[in-house]
Chain A
Amino acid sequence: MDFWPTDDQTALQEGVRTFCQGRFPFETLHDIEATGGRIDRSAWKDIAEMGVFSLRHDGFGISDAALVFEELGRALVPGPLVATYLAATHLSDTAAASGASIIGLAEVAEPVTVIEHADDLDVLLLLDGNGVRRMAPDALPTDAVERPVEPLTPLRLAHAVTAGGDTVLSGADARAFRLEGTLLTAAMQVGVSFAAIDLAVEYAKGREQFGRPIGQFQAVKHMCADMLTRAEVARSAMYAAAANLEGKGEDDAEHSVRVAKMLAGDAAIFCGKTGIQLHGGMGFTWEVNAQRFWKRATVLDTHFGNSDIHADAIAAAM
């Protein structure tokens, strides 16, 4: 057993982190919001050239992908990253792998089915209990959602989602697609959690009140420690799920992926919320990124089933 990232994995993760900091610095998020969350195709190409979508074709494993998506989540990189990766990986879509195509994924769900980044998609995948259907992004009737909670993730409300498109995956293949998507979403949630922690800790060190940095107060310290605790526990579950899913573990992959998504979802929302609280009034402003982590956490929680859905499934197997 050696449940610690290898030197190669650490180098991969650091490479992606450096890329994200250079190509998607937090300062540019405001500009992307101003475009209505539109995807910059040249930036998308750059992500593809980093190898993000073609990881598996290039000989990397699921654990490697999990580490990469943790970094993408940490940097709040916008766009249907997981969907495009899944299309490249599970549908052998070479245009997805090269960054030429942007692939969206919508889960047929109650009470609503929503499509993210609909205006930028080349292909839409619909995921339901029967499998994955592929269709043109304008094949479904949709209504615009004028004010999405997270402006970096624009939405359209979809109708008549039960028909249309060609079934491209079903049965075990669809299950593998869903599991990997769930895992990588959990990875992004872990990344969001750590980004929220980084910002909160930096603020707590610099912000002075009562003549001292607020990070000197135990009430503030314990908020930070609670964030780190939730995030590290979730990260452990996520790494274990990655190992199990790629056959390097001893536990049931589906169970451990559900645990990872449940805990990572809760951790991201908790860290997002606590980060806002720790910033005080500034945390409630648009300007400070604390709110952006919480908003992304809120969006990601709805992908591939929220925490409650996974908790119910875990309980059903108990």
Chain B
Amino acid sequence: MDLRYTDSELAFREELRAWLREVLPSVPPEPHRNDWEGRRAWDTGWQRMLFDAGYAGINWPKEYGGRGATPTEHLIFLEETERMRAPYVGMNFVGLLHAGPTLVAEATDEQKAYHLPGILKGEHVWCQGFSEPGAGSDLASLRCRAFRDGDDYVISGSKIWTSFGHTADYCEMLVRTDPDAPKHKGITWLILPMNAAGIDIRPLRTMEGSTEFCEVYFDEVRVPVKNRVGDENDGWRVTMVTLAFERGTAFVSEMLQSMELVRDLTDLAKKITRHGSTAWEDAGLRRELAHLSGELDALWALTKRNISEAQRKGLVGAGGNVFKVAYTDVRQKLGDISMRLLDRASLSLDDMAGLPTGKHVKGRIHALSIGIAAGTSQVQKNIVSERVLGLPKDR
């Protein structure tokens, strides 16, 4: 068990740092969160810079245009880009972290040759058409139908929580192709061009005020059969390949931000006074922050265990699910502390009276989504108890 980086890992880190120092000053300021055209240009522009410098698809195989780096180098990449405040993966999230890895594992050579470079170069933005109004935690019960008609599938139904649906070029889409089969056996995975006729996209406003989520309605949308990934009715297995990528490293940037949040809250507590003394003089608050800070250290260690396990065995074990459950709890508690510190200053989404309230309030709201997105904490706990501890399923 060795936490030290090897010489080649350290060399990779140095080279990456030098490049980031050189290019980051030329990155324009981040657009407003609801300026979708601006955000798309900003996110994909950064992706193109990564591609040109050889840092796109850091953990993708070389033969598909990636860097073919080790899981540890991938972790270093995520760590350094976050620490140096490089743009986040943003709109490229689905392409780089979901659809892309699935295509690498399951797509035909022709599909790979077209789509993988598009993702890596920032030319194509992807969205995800998985969840439906009636199929959330129980994803396999999805009902969006696709009939075979000659060389096309014809899709009717709806999807929800489709982040960046209105700016995306392609959608990784799960459809019901056999309604009579058991629910896991009648699903197919399709590449859907978002400019196809019959797609109606309606932004859905989140409690953060963002319109990043969309509801997407499909009215006899035609998709060529050649856009199918994997076999017909084998989409659930293909999907599981995707979801396995999700929890290994998806929260590295978030977690590093949370470590910084602990430092910010400590500084804030030392400044804010109540009843004549600083909030930091409250032993209960100090102890609480120390606990959360320690838990973040432990989660960073758990991430490194997960990465090391992936490096040895080729896949992330239960550690990914455990991580998400624990991280959600820590992040939400930090949000609650920030609000107690700011008290009535926590009521504004913008900075108030010289206090950095905006960041904390928005962060606290964002934290509420972490326990829901990518599998709720309750679903994670079911997975942990059934797949790791071997408890019986209740169905």
Contact = CB atoms under 8 A, between A and B. Distances in A.
B293 A318 contact: yes
Majority SS at the chain A contact face: helix
* Of B3, B287, B381, B392, most A-chain CB atoms within 10 Å: B3
Interface in A216-264: 216-218, 220-222, 224-226, 228-230, 232-234, 236-237, 239-240, 242-244, 248-251, 255-256, 258-260, 262-263
A148 interface: no
B297 interface: yes
Interface string B294-326: 110111011011011101100000110010011
Given A9-B1, A248-B4, A318-B289, A225 B308 contact: no
A215 B391 contact: yes
A120 B388 CA distance: 41
Majority SS at the chain B contact face: helix
Interface in B275-298: 283, 286-287, 289-291, 293-295, 297-298
A90 to B, nearest CB: 22
* Of B5, B287, B289, most A-chain CB atoms within 10 Å: B287
Contacts of A260: 298
B110 interface: no
Nearest to A249: B3
Contact of A3 (B1, B266, B291, B394): B1
Contact of B304 (A3, A213, A220): A3
A32 interface: no
Given A228-B322, A263-B295, A308-B287, A240 B390 contact: no
B109 interface: no
B390 A221 contact: no
A206 B309 CA distance: 31
* Of A2, A212, A244, most B-chain CB atoms within 10 Å: A2
A43 B293 CA distance: 41
Contacts of B385: 215, 221-222, 224-225, 228
A191 to B, nearest CB: 16
* Of A9, A218, A255, most B-chain CB atoms within 10 Å: A218
Given A263-B295, A315-B286, A1 B6 contact: yes
Given A263-B294, A315-B287, A229 B4 contact: no
B326 A229 contact: yes
B382 A5 contact: no
A226 to B, nearest CB: 7
B72 interface: yes
A250 B3 contact: yes
Contact of B2 (A1, A218, A258, A262): A1
Interface in A124-165: none
Contacts of B260: none
B299 A233 contact: yes
A222 B378 contact: yes
Interface stretch (A72-80, A197-205, A279-287, A290-298): A197-205
Given A1-B2, A248-B2, A233 B302 contact: yes
B392 A205 contact: yes
Contacts of B295: 233, 263
B358 to A, nearest CB: 24
A187 B389 CA distance: 21
A29 interface: no
Contacts of A237: 294, 297-298, 301
B287 A2 contact: no
B3 A3 contact: yes
Given A239-B1, A262-B294, A4 B390 contact: no
A222 B2 CA distance: 32
A2 B293 contact: no
B394 to A, nearest CB: 4
Given A228-B384, A229-B326, A259-B294, 11 more contacts: A1-B304, A5-B1, A197-B389, A215-B385, A225-B385, A228-B385, A237-B294, A239-B301, A311-B294, A315-B289, A318-B266
Interface of A: 1-6, 9, 63, 197, 201, 204-205, 212-213, 215-218, 220-222, 224-226, 228-230, 232-234, 236-237, 239-240, 242-244, 248-251, 255-256, 258-260, 262-263, 308, 311-312, 314-315, 318
> Lowest 5 A-B CB distances belong to which pairs?
A225-B381, A237-B298, A240-B301, A315-B286, A221-B385
Interface of B: 1-6, 9, 72, 262-263, 266, 283, 286-287, 289-291, 293-295, 297-299, 301-302, 304-305, 307-309, 311-312, 318-319, 322, 325-326, 378, 380-382, 384-386, 388-394
16 contacts: A2-B311, A2-B312, A3-B308, A4-B305, A4-B309, A212-B392, A216-B391, A221-B391, A224-B384, A225-B325, A233-B326, A249-B3, A258-B294, A308-B287, A311-B287, A314-B290
